[in-house]
Amino acid sequence: MEQKVFFIKTFGCQMNERDSEIMAQSLSTYGYVEGMDIAGADLIILNTCSIRAKAEQKVMSMLGYLRKNKKNKPDLKICVAGCVAQQEGKRILKKMPHVDLVVGTQNIYNIGELLLESSKNGPQAAIGLDDKYDIPNLLPTLSSRNQDATISIQPFRKFVTIMQGCNNYCTYCVVPHTRGREVSRKSNDIIDEVNALVKGGTKEITLLGQNVNSYGKTNSVSDNGNSYSFSDLLREVSEVKGLKRLRFTTSNPKDLTDDLMRCFQNIDNLCHQFHLPVQAGSDSVLKKMNRKYTVRQYLNLVDNLRHYCPEIALTTDVIVGFPGESPEDFEGTMNLLEKVQFHGSFSFKYSDRPGTRAGSFEEKIDETIKSERLARFQARQDEISFKRNREYVGKIKTVMVEDCSNDSVKSRTETNHIVHCAKTIDARPGDCLDVTITRAGQHSLQGKIINPG
């Protein structure tokens, strides 16, 4: 089989990063290997995100730019995958006739077959969304993405998708429209995948889903048909021999149970960091967002979490400028930030998304006001993050090495803080070290290696 080279550009979230790995593994069975640049590629894949208006514009301008590559290399294949592909479908083929294939979020496992079809029958769009979709079980082969694994994949750390889609229909969100109904993978398939990864050298696993807290709620995931929750899965994955660290993302507060919060107390290798998107600090805005919890309920969850795990590092997502957000509503968001003192947050200006209910809401907020609110929120968050980082100075922390140069080591604490140290001992990605935190920066920490962890 003639060897061909593919290049993947991944936009957006960790789900997309994992989907790019899945497409890479599928393509490797069709004689493709991964290249590190566009120039040498026979196939270019844009794995897209449409969570915000800006993300979509980026994809369209990149496709425009690729028109000349196709002109210079007529056999070049161009494929658009991910959420913009799902959302726009055939419209992309119309607007960008140099695109060969549009692959929707439930079709990524068949990318190899779909490429062969598009070579035979011309440009294709495969964007079917099936409510009864069953996530194929693809056991990892560690060398799938590049012969020289040290360049692209750090096998010491891996994402594992446990579910796809979402049934919550928050009014601003495209995910239920682009990734379909919630479907959870069989627990045994997930355990098999984690076992294979850990056997292959992986030390840290992050379980991925749009709303992992509702894992196993919409379809049966156990072989005996008994109910099986996300905390059951966490307990079982954590027992995989050799797994040093376990993380998960993303959670919806409305499905956060006491049993799941207790896992932070009872599971030794579950990292003490938790991403719990709140989105806004006003009950009237949360209602319009269809988030199904109140500010009070969110604060109670935070208190409970800190009861079970006082040192937990909490991060969140916030949208400012949601339609109808009054100055008082926004003050509510600022007050919530003061009360919770998040270690960090991802904050964005609201933007209309195709097919979402909020897109047709009135009382849209002026762009300038949105920018002012975002700047104020981010400035205060930066102050709090820096204060939080200073709390670690003088403490001894176990870190996992991520990257090394001749004289320095980049690593991460289990609370997800980056730590830079002078390289005083031989270390490589995946190693655990004990370090003393010596200095705090805005976005990372400095440390001194005391001994191998």
Where is 410: in which H helix or E strand? strand 408-413
For the bound state, the minimum distance from the C-beta of residue 252 to ligand SF4, rounded and expressed in Å, comes to 5
Q: Which is nearer to ligand SF4, 249 or 252 (CB)?
A: 252
For the bound state, the minimum distance from the C-beta of residue 428 to ligand SF4, rounded and expressed in Å, comes to 36
For the bound state, the minimum distance from the C-beta of residue 94 to ligand SF4, rounded and expressed in Å, comes to 28
The footprint of ligand SF4 on residues 172-201 (CB under 6 A) is 173, 175-176
The footprint of ligand SF4 on residues 19-58 (CB under 6 A) is none
Member of 65, 169, 346, 386 binding ligand SF4 (CB under 6 A):
169
For the bound state, the minimum distance from the C-beta of residue 398 to ligand SF4, rounded and expressed in Å, comes to 32
H and E: helices and strands count for the chain = 13, 19
Member of 48, 184, 211, 231 binding ligand SF4 (CB under 6 A):
211
Counting contacts by CB under 6 A, is residue 315 touching ligand SF4? no
Q: Which is nearer to ligand SF4, 65 or 169 (CB)?
A: 169
Tokens 């994809």 belong to residue: 59
Counting contacts by CB under 6 A, is residue 347 touching ligand SF4? no
Would you call 423 helix, strand, or coil by DSSP?
coil
Bridge partners of 396? 436
Q: Which is nearer to ligand SF4, 28 or 171 (CB)?
A: 171
Residue 49's nearest CA partner among 79, 10, 22 is: 10
Would you call 347 helix, strand, or coil by DSSP?
strand
For the bound state, the minimum distance from the C-beta of residue 193 to ligand SF4, rounded and expressed in Å, comes to 22
The footprint of ligand SF4 on residues 244-263 (CB under 6 A) is 252
Member of 8, 66, 170, 400 binding ligand SF4 (CB under 6 A):
170
Q: Which is nearer to ligand SF4, 25 or 282 (CB)?
A: 282
Member of 127, 166, 237, 318 binding ligand SF4 (CB under 6 A):
166
For the bound state, the minimum distance from the C-beta of residue 166 to ligand SF4, rounded and expressed in Å, comes to 3
Counting contacts by CB under 6 A, is residue 210 touching ligand SF4? yes
Contacting range for ligand SF4; rule: CB under 6 A; set: 161-169, 197-205, 237-245, 351-359? 161-169
For the bound state, the minimum distance from the C-beta of residue 210 to ligand SF4, rounded and expressed in Å, comes to 4
Where is 216: in which H helix or E strand? none
Please tell me the distance from the alpha carbon of residue 9 to that of residue 22, in angstroms, as a whole number: 14
Alpha helices in 1-154 (DSSP H): 14-28, 53-72, 83-88, 90-95, 111-121
Please tell me the distance from the alpha carbon of residue 341 to that of residue 326, in angstroms, as a whole number: 23
List CB contacts of 62: < 8 A, sequence separation 6 or more.
Answer: 9, 46
b/e 361-389 (16+ beta carbons within 10 angstroms → b): beebbeeeebeebbeebeeebeebbeebb
Q: Which is nearer to ligand SF4, 238 or 249 (CB)?
A: 249
Please tell me the distance from the alpha carbon of residue 411 to that of residue 452, in angstroms, as a whole number: 13
Please tell me the distance from the alpha carbon of residue 30 to that of residue 36, in angstroms, as a whole number: 18
List CB contacts of 442: < 8 A, sequence separation 6 or more.
Answer: 382, 385, 386, 389
List CB contacts of 418: < 8 A, sequence separation 6 or more.
Answer: 402, 410, 411, 412, 443, 444, 445
Where is 387: in which H helix or E strand? helix 367-390
Q: Which is nearer to ligand SF4, 12 or 429 (CB)?
A: 12
List CB contacts of 235: < 8 A, sequence separation 6 or more.
Answer: 263, 266, 267
Counting contacts by CB under 6 A, is residue 82 touching ligand SF4? no
Member of 14, 69, 143, 168 binding ligand SF4 (CB under 6 A):
168
Which residues bind to ligand SF4, rule: CB under 6 A? 166, 168-170, 173, 175-176, 210-211, 252
